[in-house]
Amino acid sequence: MENRNRNPRKAKVDLAFDRAMVLTVSIIRRAQGKTNPDDFAYGSPEFEQAADDYLEDLTRAFDRHSAGVARGEDDLRYSHS
């Protein structure tokens, strides 16, 4: 029910931003010589470790973005209406 009142265009922009953040973190990790979860078989111990590390980096990236928005920096997700 809560989603009925959401702006569909804003939801698409949010999804595009989230996908861009996921890809950016993956690319940065690769450039740093780190592994990503998709480098390993799903469910393997290596996959689980890479997934944990990846999620820490992704969470850090979203936290930094949120902190920037709180400081009044531009939030590119909502710049187009």
Q: Is the dihedral of CA 41, 44, 45, 51 positive or negative?
A: positive
The rounded distance, in Å, linking the Cα atoms of 25 and 62 is: 10
pTM of the model: 0.68
For residue range 13-41, what is the model confidence (pLDDT) as tens digits?
A: 778 888 999 999 999 999 999 999 999 99
Residue 60 has pLDDT above 70, yes or no: yes
Residue 73 has pLDDT above 80, yes or no: no
Asked whether 17 and 78 are in contact (CB, 8 A), the reply is: no
CB under 8 Å, gap of 24 or more: what pairs does 12-17 form? 13/77, 13/78, 13/80, 14/77, 17/76, 17/77
* pLDDT band of 48, cuts 50, 70, 90: very high
Residues of the chain above pLDDT 70, percent: 67
